[in-house]
Amino acid sequence: MEFKDTVKHIAALAKLEFKDNEIDIFSEQFKEIVEYIDTLNEVELGDVESLSQITDFENVLRKDVTQSSVSLEEALKNAPKKNENFFKVPKVIEQE
């Protein structure tokens, strides 16, 4: 049952909505995946540091120089809704 709540929580974070029977299916699948990953907990790691990068690269830096941006038209090209200058999205009700 706890996976039902997890699925609902994750769905809410991802702004997704599911029907009850879909949540049941995903709960089962979630459970399987999490249990599978949990087997990693059985490995004795000692003081091995957690990994944040799989390469050993350091300091890939860029000089602080501007290059031309894409045009306004190009920037807005793929927007489902727009006007001449802006992307448009449904009114965000919450004020910030």
Partner 1 sequence: MIEFEPVIGLEVHAQLLTNSKAFCSCSAEYGALPNTQTCPVCLGHPGALPVLNENLLNFIIKMGIATNCKIREISTFARKNYFYPDLPKGYQITQYEDPICYDGFIEIELSETERKRIGIIRIHMEEDAGKSIHDLDIDTLVDLNRSGVPLIEIVSEPDIRSAQEAYKYLTSIKQILLYLGICTGNMEEGALRCDANISVRPIGNSKFGTKTEVKNLNSFRNVEKAIEYEIQRQIEVIRNGGNIHQETRLWDAASQTTRPMRSKEFAHDYRYFPEPDLVKVKVSNERLDSIRSSIPELPLARKQRLIDQYGIPHYDASIFVEDHNLADYYEHCCSYLAVKSQKTFKLVSNWLMTEVMRILSERKIDINELGLNPKFVAEIVDYLSEDKISSRIAKDIFPEVLQNNMSPAKIIEERSLVQISDSSALETLIDEVLANNQDSIEKYKSGRKNVFGFFVGQVMEKMKGKANPKLVTEILRKKLDD
* Residue 9 or 29 having the CB closest to partner 1: 9
What's the longest Cα–Cα distance across the chain? Answer: 58
Binding mask 73-92 for partner 1 (x = CB under 8 A): --xx----x-x-xxxxxxxx
Please give the C-alpha separations between residue 84 and each of 45, 71, 73, 77, 91, in angstroms, as whole numbers.
Answer: 56, 12, 8, 11, 18
> Which residues in the 21-60 window bind partner 1 by CB under 8 A?
52-55, 57-60
At closest approach, how far in Å is the CB of 57 from partner 1? 4
Residue 30 and residue 39: Cα distance in Å, rounded? 15
Binds partner 1 by CB under 8 A, chosen from 12, 25, 33, 34: 12
How far are the Cα atoms of 35, 86, 87 from residue 77, in angstroms, in the given order? Answer: 43, 11, 10
Point out which residues bind partner 1 (CB under 8 A).
9, 12-15, 52-55, 57-67, 69-72, 75-76, 81, 83, 85-96
